[in-house]
Amino acid sequence: MMNEQLTAENINSAGHLQIGGVDTLKLAEQFGTPLYVYDVSKIRNQIRHFKQVFEEKKVPYVISYASKAFCAMGIYQVIQQEGIHADVVSAGEMQTAIDASFPMQNISFHGNNKSVAELEMAIKHGVGLIIIDNFHEIDLLNRVLQEQQTTCKVMIRITPGIASHTHSYIATGQVDSKFGFDLQSGQADRALQMILKSSRMDLVGVHAHIGSQIFDSRGFDAAARKLVDVAAHWKSEYGYEAAAINVGGGFGIQYTAQQKPVAPEEFVEDIVSAIVDEVTKTDLKMPAIWIEPGRSLVGPAGYTLYTVGSRKEIPGGYEPFVAVDGGMGDNIRPALYHAEYETVYARDPQAPAVEQVRLCGKYCESGDILAEHQPLPQTKPGDVLAMLDTGAYGYAMASNYNRNPRPAVVFVENGQARLVVRRETPADVSRLDLNYLNIE
């Protein structure tokens, strides 16, 4: 039976799993495993779906890819081709965008504790927008702008007081969040007044992000309406009219057959309708609507290929452990959020399952389980498995725990595979260490 996440295009004439027209067994052989593989056309298609919604609704918009979901030069190059913006949250992400020759005016800089060095770097490189999170940042940014004798565009991030229904580790819109200015206590208004007073900051609008991996539109609807409300209040109270309303990202994707999020573009349709509806009740001009999708752009496009190694049977009715050559170092999400994924047997994704196993990694942690109750056909060492939908927050959150080198990343498009991040070597992993006792 075919996994729901796959289509007929995923099976080649040999019956093997293929991605972007390339056989996954060949990819594993050519590039080794574990391997992150992206089907680039899926990313391009999703961007087009988002664009279509805005264009049909005839509203001004900006799509800004949240590059924390997957950051590498290659992805900045793809999204630049598609003509969208990106947001970054660190000097490292910014550097990667610079290395990819991404137009810096299309970069927004987020973060709840941006350092002076990061702000200086952003201003020096002409980052298009700084999304201001707190009072300390207003102070730092004013100083940096003063020193560099320049100005920059900013947005104010507010906490809309909306609890989204997602894992508590990835909810951000509730009042008790570390991100953004609180509305109820008047923090957001104070921030507005300070920014309007600054001759160096050009305020373009208001931002909120309610969380990640959200499955339905209710929270977005409420957040969108709240943002228009804030914009209307700022106009009537302070004479400031927002040119942009940024609703953040967070559109959930389907990782398993049981999960039923609405399609990413449907979230956007609902958001746009809510904003248009609210704006028409006010005297505001239609602001540009910004979205910041991360997971929904890159998650479903990503696959992780693993090779099966050891197997442990435990008498007494326990599920066997089947170990692969990766694990929590290349995908921390199962251990961190109890995230679930589906995995298929690459040689024959339609092969009937004969058992359920615990798919575990090679890291020295009992919690290094990639999937419990994973149905699989009979596997043997050397077989290749493909975990689906690993494109977001997989490579981005990879670590060198146990000093395991991180996997390579390959982009596949039109039957061609290209390495976009090379595999780390053991020498890469120890490259930063210095000799404490000067022993040669």
Ligand X SMILES: Cc1ncc(COP(=O)(O)O)c(C=O)c1O
Q: Which of ligand X, ligand LYS, none does 6 bind, CB closer than 5 to 8 A by kind? A: none
How far apart, in whole angstroms, are the C-alpha atoms of residue 375 and residue 417? 29
The piece of 139-147, 243-251, 255-263, 344-352 that touches ligand X (CB under 6 A) is: 243-251
Active-site residue flag, 364: yes
Q: How far is the CB of 168 from ligand LYS (least distance, A)?
A: 12
Q: Which residue has the tokens 């058992």?
A: 355
What is the DSSP track for 80-144?
HHTT-EEEE-SHHHHHHHHHTT--GGGEEE--SS--HHHHHHHHHTT-SEEEE-SHHHHHHHHHH
Q: How far is the CB of 406 from ligand X (least distance, A)?
A: 20
Q: How far is the CB of 52 from ligand LYS (least distance, A)?
A: 25
Q: Which residue has the tokens 């590059």?
A: 67
- Residue 110, interface with ligand LYS (CB under 6 A)? no
Q: Which of 65, 66, 57, 122 is nearest to 272 (CA)?
A: 57
* Helical residues (DSSP H) of 313-384, grouped into ranges: 333-337
Residues 281-300 that bind ligand X (CB under 6 A): 292-296
Q: Which of ligand LYS, ligand X, none does 251 bind, CB closer than 5 to 8 A by kind? A: ligand X
Find the length of the chain: 440
Q: Which of 296, 275, 302 is nearest to 63 (CA)?
A: 296
Q: Which of 118, 94, 108, 122 is nearest to 64 (CA)?
A: 108
- Residue 104, interface with ligand LYS (CB under 6 A)? no
Q: Which of ligand X, ligand LYS, none does 333 bind, CB closer than 5 to 8 A by kind? A: ligand LYS
Q: How far is the CB of 398 from ligand LYS (least distance, A)?
A: 12
Is residue 393 marked as binding? yes
Omega within 30 of 0 (cis) for the link into 34: yes
Pick the closer one to ligand LYS by CB: 75 or 323. Answer: 75
- Residue 69, interface with ligand X (CB under 6 A)? yes
Would you give the binding string for ligand X spanning residues 182-221, x where CB under 6 A is met? ---------------------------x--xx--------
How far apart, in whole angstroms, are the C-alpha atoms of residue 221 and residue 137? 29
Binding site for ligand LYS (CB under 6 A): 68, 170, 212-213, 333, 337, 393
Binding site for ligand X (CB under 6 A): 66, 69, 110, 209, 212-213, 248-251, 292-296, 392
